Amino acid sequence: MIYLDNSATTRPSQEALQTYLSVSERFFGNPSSLHKLGMESEKVLNRARSIMAELLDVESSGIYFTSGGTESNNLAIKGSLRSTLHKKNHLITTAAEHASVYQSFKELEKEGYQVTYLPVDETGKITISDLEKALTKDTVLVSISHVNNETGTIQPIYEIGTLLRKYPQIRFHVDHVQGAGKVPLSIKRAGIDLLTLSAHKFHGLKGSALLYIRPGIHVKSQAHGGEQEGGFRGGTENVAGIAAMAKAYKMECEKASSRMTHLQQLQLKLVEHFSLLDECVVNTPHQESAPHIINVSVPGYKPEVIVQKLAEQEIYISTQSACSSKLNEPSRVLLAMGKGEEVASSALRISLSFDSTQEEIDTFIQVLSTLLPSIKKVVGK
């Protein structure tokens, strides 16, 4: 099997799985319980909180655990807006955000909020000048992803943070789900108030994530019925999943220090290969992108057919974001980048991990080159 769909989810590491099983068996008590089993579970929970805080170089009091990136993004966006009664109602995001951010803002528009969707250029990046022009006296929140989940485009987060320091009333949220472990980001240096991570993007287990909330930032819980996680997020914590997430993220950071060049070389090989093919359009801006994502379109071909044909050979890639891949619609991200509908409707996403190998990439290229002519006949290009 050749797995190249790591931006959708990663294979849980053996170490993360072992941590999950061990904690599940030994520390199964509810961390809110007052007895010994509960207090032991609470210690494991707080240890994981400290590990994540140390790796992110932030205060452990700012780490709050959730069930996934979507919950963290919703909590950051809606929770920070509903935490205080204010008359300011202008929000800023981009036209190329993940669905959990983009659709949150669409819902907020229905509630009366004014939202500016910043345009992106042909590489998928915003410009600081566009952001500065969009700011008003009523702006209260800016939410921009670090790494785009479809193309790998890296947004200028440090420059954005520098600009927003001039406006202390504006909260700055960053969806760091796709960049975690692959693209370094200093939360403090970038002036980030709220930041999202999700465990299953770096070989942890699904169902565990976190939201960093800078101490002093007020967020209103969107899940009521308990005072867990400082009252920001009701519900019994998934202690085993959280411990496994801390283990997985520590390992991912260690791999990044030794295997980043390897990952960049694999990406470069794929970009160079697709750039030489007349039928392909490379959508990932290689010089300004994360090292693990390659987005390429094959106009005239149905991407879902290519994905299924490759799966028959036990090679796994995806079309667009896994959250949107079943919608059978042109990529909203690529359309925002100015790509035509044909290009936006025929995109493939190949996403690597530090465990991907040169041999896997060579095999993928060879198999895809063999498959394309037969698929061409099927769709009648």
Mean pLDDT, to the nearest integer, of 27-56? 92
User: Do 210 and 126 share a structural domain?
Assistant: yes
User: Do 340 and 207 share a structural domain?
Assistant: no
Q: What is the pLDDT of residues 286-341, one digit of tens each?
A: 778 999 999 999 999 999 999 999 999 999 999 965 454 455 689 999 999 999 99
Domain end point (choices 250, 270, 304): 250
| pTM, to two decimals | 0.93
Contact by Cβ (8 Å): 72, 211:
yes
User: Do 154 and 49 share a structural domain?
Assistant: yes
Domain end point (choices 250, 272, 289): 250
**Cα 174 to Cα 161: distance, rounded to the nearest angstrom:** 10
The dihedral through the CA atoms of 166, 172, 178, 180 has a sign that is: positive
User: Do 212 and 147 share a structural domain?
Assistant: yes
For residue 69, the tally of other CB atoms under 10 A from its CB is 27
For residue 157, the tally of other CB atoms under 10 A from its CB is 25
Q: What is the pLDDT of residue 268?
A: 95
Query: E strand or H helix at 108, and its extent?
Result: helix 99-110
User: Do 28 and 159 share a structural domain?
Assistant: yes
Mean pLDDT, to the nearest integer, of 107-121? 95
Q: What is the pLDDT of residue 379?
A: 53
78 strand-pairing partners: none
Mean pLDDT, to the nearest integer, of 93-97? 96
Q: What is the pLDDT of residue 381?
A: 45
**Cα 84 to Cα 217: distance, rounded to the nearest angstrom:** 11
DSSP string, 65-81: EES-HHHHHHIIIIIHH
Question: Which pair of tokens denotes residue 146?
Answer: 């670090």
Cα 150 to Cα 109, 111, 187, 256, 317, distances in angstroms? 25, 29, 23, 21, 12
Taking 90 as the threshold, does the pLDDT of residue 269 lie above it?
yes
**Mean pLDDT (the chain, rounded):** 92
Which residues span the domain enclosing 236?
14-250
Mean pLDDT, to the nearest integer, of 160-169? 96
**Cα 19 to Cα 27: distance, rounded to the nearest angstrom:** 11
User: Do 171 and 279 share a structural domain?
Assistant: no
User: Do 268 and 218 share a structural domain?
Assistant: no
Domain with residue 281: its CATH number is 3.90.1150.10
User: Do 159 and 25 share a structural domain?
Assistant: yes
User: Do 180 and 278 share a structural domain?
Assistant: no
Mean pLDDT, to the nearest integer, of 10-17? 97
Asked about 323 being catalytic, the answer comes back as yes
Question: Which pair of tokens denotes residue 5?
Answer: 């769909």
Give CA 374 to chain center in angstroms. Answer: 34
User: Do 39 and 162 share a structural domain?
Assistant: yes
Q: What is the pLDDT of residues 218-237, one digit of tens each?
A: 888 776 777 777 777 878 88
User: Do 233 and 89 share a structural domain?
Assistant: yes
Contacts of 18 (CB under 8 A, 6+ apart): none
Taking 50 as the threshold, does the pLDDT of residue 63 lie above it?
yes
Strands (E), 51-170: 63-66, 90-94, 114-118, 139-143
From the candidates 323, 365, 367, 371, give the one annotated as an active-site residue. Answer: 323
Q: Give the chain's domain count.
A: 2
Taking 90 as the threshold, does the pLDDT of residue 378 lie above it?
no
User: Do 375 and 335 share a structural domain?
Assistant: yes
Domain with residue 178: its CATH number is 3.40.640.10
Domain end point (choices 190, 216, 250): 250
Highest mean pLDDT among 33-42, 287-296, 357-366: 357-366
Query: E strand or H helix at 258, and its extent?
Result: helix 239-275
Contacts of 248 (CB under 8 A, 6+ apart): 12, 13, 15, 16, 199, 202, 203, 204
